[in-house]
Structure 1
């Protein structure tokens, strides 16, 4: 069994992660292989795979704290106890990062140019990929911070541009199937009707049947949680056979999407985020 990472090694990989995260938030591309190669010089004969996994562990910590994280590192929750305190300590020593996180939640990239839109579709995350929010005992105390992922999710302009990306994808899908007329009839219902509609985009199957689409967009990774309203849940339940949720992710530089069809109450793990209270 591999030895646990030393305190020095953990601090080095955390520092490297934040260097990459800052590059990503600034819209700069970076080479993960080059980062690993440089980092290995500071580590005790760690393999590329073990370094990659440690970066994924840091993503899990960042998601647990509802902070921005590197889109290209999916979360892996089985991390050593020393990792979460090291992340917290780094943030405590660099309080300026919280202002950058807040600013990044407001950033709305232009719709990226994609040569082959149909190649952007991926499979939805598997159940085991979603089991990452495990609380780490022993983490040092950090004063309560805003939920930066929720702040990004509430960014209406980002949502609109994500919807435009999905509309472009849907048009490409129908045109590829030879249904140009149907592609021309796609409607951005979120603008023509508004949130009362319960979905964002009215598209079509190749046989002309309705396809009701809800689009959720993030600049971060594939497993970033998203928010749904009671009205959206109701609509997905009442129109399950024609309902499709498109999750757009990595919207900053490399936008991709996956699709979840049917009743969201059956397809997603739902966690209440607020309550209506009365006395």
Structure 2
């Protein structure tokens, strides 16, 4: 199913689930669905995209499922090549009739059990590549997502009767650069500043994103005016949700790399 999704081919989740149930002593639809969601969680922790529609659920047997997924990946190198090609691909900017209708609520947090926290959450892809991080470094995709956010913000302000403010929106990632600490300077309807960081993915709503220490500090120092816009499903049906305020209170933060030097 993931192969089909990444290559734009249709598939039937219900038919696939029925076929699996016949091979699993007719286990319930719910149990098969949950196992797919557990696999999504393993893939996310390995830095691999998951099937959109199977929201990651982290309440799985960590001593078994990651090893099974890793074994499959080792014996199917062609799917790793597909992940790499897709992570580096930038789709054409999809056409959107109603930008304001693209906004959704942020995803609900998936609470991890104390046992899972004690066991740790880092699982490594046996090939050693984080495809979600590769996608996050795709500057063309990031720029396309920023243009989507600018169009969304223009629509929001024009809808509120503030066309003059809409004309003043600035893509500071271009005019200033990374030192600005955010990507887009927009406005509230009363004219006050709205600082927006845009993070774009072709994958599902629960796909994690990457932030730098300077971006995190900027969200802290400008919490009342700071928004992170997460754009997802950018391949065909772009949607977004917004996080307002210091990101430390909005996200579960995990280190993804360390700076090291000889002791």
1:117 Cα offset (Å): 2.0
Pair 1:116 & 2:111 matched: no
Q: How does 1:37-186 map to 2 (within 5 A)?
A: 37-80=18-61, 82-128=64-110, 134=116, 143-186=126-169
| Corresponding residue pairs, total | 258
In structure 2, the CA distance between the partners of 1:143 and 1:83, relative to structure 1 (3 Å rule), is closer
> Is there any run of 5+ residues in structure 2 with no aligned partner, and where?
none
Distance 1:144 1:252, change over 3 A: same
SS of alignment partner, residue 155 of structure 2: helix
TM-score by length of 2: 0.87
Measure how far apart 1:82 and its partner are: 4.4
1:101-147 deviations in whole A, cap 9, x for unaligned? 1111101111222232222212122333678x95889xxx9745111
> Paired residue for 1:237, among 220, 224, 238?
220
Helix, strand or coil: the match of 1:260?
strand
Counterpart in the other structure of 1:222: 205
Farther-moved stretch of structure 1 (243-252 vs 46-55): 46-55
1:82, 1:239 → 2: CA distance? 44
**Does the 8 Å CA contact 1:64/1:134 hold for their aligned counterparts?**
no
Contact conserved, 2:198 with 2:229, CA < 8 A, in 1? yes
C-alpha offsets along residues 57-104 of structure 1, whole Å, 9 cap, x if unaligned?
110111121112212211112234543333222212211211111111
1:151 to partner: Cα distance: 0.8
* Match of residue 232 from structure 2: 249
Query: Does structure 2 conserve the Cα–Cα contact (< 8 Å) formed by 1:27 and 1:253?
Result: no
Q: Alpha-carbon deviation of 1:217?
A: 0.9
- Tell whether the 8 Å contact from 2:59 to 2:112 is kept in structure 1 after alignment: no
Structure 1 position 244, deviation (Å): 0.2
State how far apart, in whole Å, the 2-side matches of 1:225 and 1:181 are.
35
Offset of residue 159 of structure 1: 0.6
2:3 maps to which residue?
A: 22
Q: CA 1:218–1:130 in structure 2 vs 1: closer, same or farther (change >3 Å)? A: farther
Q: Under a length normalisation based on structure 1, what TM-score does the superposition of the two structures give?
A: 0.82
Query: Secondary structure of 1:122's partner?
Result: coil
Q: Distance in 2 between matches of 1:239 and 1:98?
A: 40
Please give the root-mean-square deviation of Cα atoms over the aligned residues, in Å: 2.7
Change (3 A) 1:113 1:37: farther
Task: State how far apart, in whole Å, the 2-side matches of 1:142 and 1:182 are.
Answer: 46
Distance 1:41 1:156, change over 3 A: same
Matched, 1:268 2:247: no
